[in-house]
Chains A and B, each alone.
Chain A
Amino acid sequence: MENNASYVLKTRNLKAYYILDDLGKKKTVKAVDDVNLEIRKNEIYGIAGESGCGKTTLMKTLYALLKPPLRLIDGKVLYYRDGEEMDIYALDNEERRKLRWEYIAYIPQGAMSIFNPVLKIKETYRDFLDSHLSGKTRDEIFEIAREHIRQLGLPLKVLDSYPHQLSGGMRQRVAIALAALLKPAVIFADEPTTALDVVVQRGVVQLLNEIQDGLENTIILVTHDMGIHANITDRLAIMYAGKIIEEGNTDEIFDNPLHPYTKYLINSLPRFGDRGSRVSAPGNPPSLANLPGGCSFHPRCPHKMDICEKKIPELNDQGNGHKAACWLLNGGEGKDEGTS
């Protein structure tokens, strides 16, 4: 087996589907479909993709937060801690609880609206620390909270505020700060900048960068905003219809996108200083409950070939660790549709 020392998280053929009962008919939404990730220590790893492609579902699956109708269908989520491999779905509840927040922390989509409205921010800090650090007095806990807020450059007055007294951007930054409190090795941040104002977005990115610099940990950042990815991530995965279809260094992906979908995504972005016309991918993304056969992008793809309708291309290395899943490139053996 290869050396795992530089990795914090790997997945193997991960599949998580929503199994729904639609008027007596079984409906399967393939939101995470055969995902293989290898995420390193000390990197900001981005996951991009259109709304509804499965990004949030993937985060929940990595964090083992599955609730019906979402089910783990197949595959493994492996974390590496002090040279030890841990399968999160094989842990008992106590071990999993310890892993969460102390080793991996999750900032859910819309985190800024999850604060308890009747508690001051410092009370939220206390609840949080109480359940993870025992034997500290109230004053010691508030001192830890103050020190933490100060280190991250947030105004101390937030601690004495109620959530509704803070702007959305400030609440979002407090949610991020809380996730970083126990110095986790991995932080999952789902759309932390979406719905925030431009200048405030920049403040959030700055905070994430500071945390990562300070802790030298891993941040997994999910957003559909390619500008944010370009600004902060080291490596980037492009998700389409439940699958990772391209992955590589962020610079590489922006300079030399390989998959036709990624090409549309990157080339359609408006750029200052060049007002040339930009075209986005034709058509609409497929329903995850009724995916087309073969490569899911084929109905929208200008380069469609016969094989694209029949077999799913593998996510293969196309050189220098830049991976893509497309029959125009090295698509490997491929998988027949319906094998899943």
Chain B
Amino acid sequence: MKALLEVKQVSKEFVIGNILSREKILAVDQVSFEIKASEIFTLAGESGCGKTTMARMILGFEEPTAGEIMYSKEGPKGEKKVWFTQGFQAIFQNPFETFNPLRKVDSYLFETVFNYKLAADRDEAIGLIDSKLRSVGLSYDEVSGKYPSEFSGGQLQRISIARALLTDPALLIADEPVSMVDASIRMSIVNLFKSLKEDLGMSILYITHDLATAYYLGGQIAIMFRGNIMEMGNVEKVLMEPKHPYTKLLRESIPEADPSRRWKDKITITELEHEEYLRKGCKFAGRCPEVMEKCKAQAPETVIVDDVYVKCHLYCSA
């Protein structure tokens, strides 16, 4: 199947520090992946690994320093310009920041409808808004005339998803959509993503550090660390038989809801984020339990092992 979105060797450089000590970091370092129609693609990794920067480049908020991002010409409405505004939509981490506390929540929904000319009059707009709110388990009557403070975090997040659905996007970009909400609301949102994919054939770029929900959703996953994709492939393979030592660490660090699997080993947290970004060889060498001499000198190539992309010297021959 043809890819909906293709990210090719994309890098993003930032300059950090002050006038006295300026340093360049590659927040995204030659990243490549593709998202197919009706597919869930998870971008996972700890804080500061470049996930949001990647999402902002896809959304066109940020120019890549190098590389190319290509959107399928066969997007919902054909040409690239329309694709840019209607082909994908995004939702963000903190639902309380998406909505101005002094503005009624439904005004955001009407705004989107009229901006994109999705309805001819108010009645038609209400019909459309109601149908999208219903697909996230709410209704126009429950939402109309209310302010953000009258909703819970989970309800607000569902309203922002309904707003994103108004344009019938082919791809929904969700940057940490559940990290602020608790377990029961988290599952209702994740289940919603599942049905968007299954019932509407939508693709979802799910950005998270919660590997348990990523596993539940299925599809493809890329594990990022300090700008690099360390491992990428089918969720089942990557999370159940992790190959990269970083994927293993991340997987073990998810507190599982099972008291018979409490953590036993200890971990060390030493290096600072930007020190790791500035490392020469493999960015994970400072924390890797299987580090070798060459890891500190030279960054590994990405190789394919058992249908999974892995960027680690353990798997590079010779």
Using a CB–CB distance below 8 Å, which chain A residues touch chain B? 50-52, 155, 167, 169, 195, 197-203, 205-206, 224-228, 230-232, 250-251, 254, 264-266, 268-273, 275, 277-281, 284-285
B213, B216, B267, B272 interface centre (most CB from chain A within 10 Å): B216
Cβ B259 vs Cβ A201 within 8 A: no
* Chain A residues with CB below 8 A from B154, complex form: 284
Query: Please, which residue of chain A has its CB at the minimum distance from the CB of B212?
Result: A270
Assembly CA distance A268 to B179 (angstroms): 17
Min CB–CB distance A48 → chain B (angstroms): 9
Which stretch in B55-63, B109-117, B184-192 binds the other chain? B184-192
Q: Please determine whether B269 and A272 come into contact, CB atoms closer than 8 angstroms.
A: no
Instruction: Find out whether the CB atom of B258 lies under 8 angstroms from the CB atom of A254.
Output: yes
Q: Does B13 contact A (CB under 8 A)?
A: no
Instruction: Kindly provide the distance from the CB of A110 to the nearest chain B CB, expressed in whole angstroms.
Output: 13
> Which residues of chain B in 152-200 are interfacial with respect to chain A, using CB atoms and an 8 Å cutoff?
152-155, 179, 181-185, 187-188, 190-191
Contact (A280, B184) CB under 8 Å given A167-B272, A199-B249, A200-B269: yes
Chain A residue nearest to B260 (CB atoms) is A251
Q: How far is the CA of A264 from the CA of B141 in the complex (A)?
A: 28
Residue ranges of B at the interface with A (Cβ–Cβ < 8 Å): 46-47, 152-155, 179, 181-185, 187-188, 190-191, 209-213, 215-216, 218, 239-240, 249-251, 253-263, 266-267, 269-270, 272-273
Q: Are B255 and A280 in contact (CB under 8 A)?
A: no
Query: Which residues on the B side are within 8 Å of A269 (C-beta)?
Result: 183, 187, 212, 257
B183 to A, closest residue via Cβ:
A226
Contact A198–B46 (Cβ < 8 Å): yes
A-B Cβ contacts below 8 A, count: 128
Residues of B within 8 A of A226 (CB): 183, 257
Instruction: Give complex CA distance A203, B270 in Å.
Output: 11
Q: Name, among B239, B262, B269, the residue most crowded by chain A CB atoms within 10 Å (CB to CB).
A: B269
A residues near B260, Cβ cutoff 8 Å = 251
| Contact (Cβ within 8 A) B255 A231 | yes
Could you say which of A52, A226, A232 has the most chain B C-beta atoms within 10 Å of its C-beta?
A226
> Which of B187, B254, B259, B261 contacts A278, CB < 8 Å?
B187
Given contacts A169-B269, A199-B269, A230-B257, 19 further A-B contacts (CB under 8 A): A50-B184, A50-B185, A195-B179, A197-B46, A198-B211, A198-B254, A199-B46, A199-B249, A201-B255, A202-B255, A202-B263, A203-B267, A225-B255, A231-B263, A272-B211, A272-B212, A278-B187, A279-B191, A284-B154
**B254 & A227 in contact (Cβ 8 Å cutoff):** yes
Given A51, A155, A205, A254, which contacts B182 in the complex, CB threshold below 8 Å? Answer: A51
Which among A50, A251, A278 is the interface contact of B216 at CB below 8 angstroms? A278
24 contacts between A and B (CB under 8 A): A50-B182, A197-B47, A197-B209, A198-B211, A199-B249, A199-B267, A199-B269, A201-B255, A202-B263, A205-B263, A206-B263, A225-B183, A226-B183, A227-B257, A264-B184, A268-B187, A269-B183, A272-B211, A275-B216, A279-B187, A279-B191, A280-B187, A284-B154, A284-B155
Q: How far is the CB of B78 from chain A (nearest CB, A)?
A: 36
Residue of B nearest to A284 (CB): B152
Q: How far is A232 from B256 in the complex, measured between Cα atoms in Å?
A: 11
Q: In this complex, what residue of B is CB-closest to A165?
A: B272
Q: If A206-B266, A230-B259 touch, does A199 touch B184 (CB 8 Å cutoff)?
A: no
- Within 8 Å CB of B255, what residues of A? 201-202, 205, 225, 227-228, 230-231
Q: Are A199 and B191 in contact (CB under 8 A)?
A: no
Q: With A200-B269, A230-B256, A230-B262 given, is the CB distance from A280 to B188 under 8 Å?
A: yes
Residues of A within 8 A of B155 (CB): 284
Which residues of chain A are near B240, meaning CB under 8 Å?
272-273
Closest A residue by C-beta to B44: A198
| Chain B hits for A201, CB < 8 A | 253, 255
Using Cβ atoms and an 8 Å threshold, which residues of chain B touch A270?
187, 190, 212-213, 215-216
Taking CB as reference atom, which chain A residue is nearest B215? A272
Interchain residue pairs A-B with the least CB separation, the first 5:
A227-B255, A270-B216, A224-B182, A269-B257, A280-B184
In the docked arrangement, what's the CA distance between A279 and B192, Å? Answer: 11
Closest to B213 in A: A270
Query: In the docked arrangement, what's the CA distance between A195 and B216, Å?
Result: 21
> In the assembled complex, how far is the CB of residue A23 from the closest CB belonging to chain B, in whole angstroms?
15
Closest chain B residue to A251, Cβ basis: B259
Residue of B nearest to A272 (CB): B215
Interface contact A198-B216, CB-CB below 8 Å: no
Contacts A167-B273, A226-B183, A272-B240 given; indicate if A202 touches B259 (C-beta within 8 A). no
Q: Which residues of A contact B254 (CB under 8 A)?
A: 198, 227, 272
Judging by beta carbons under 8 Å apart, are A272 and B257 in contact?
no
Closest to A231 in B: B255
Q: How far is the CB of A55 from chain B (nearest CB, A)?
A: 11
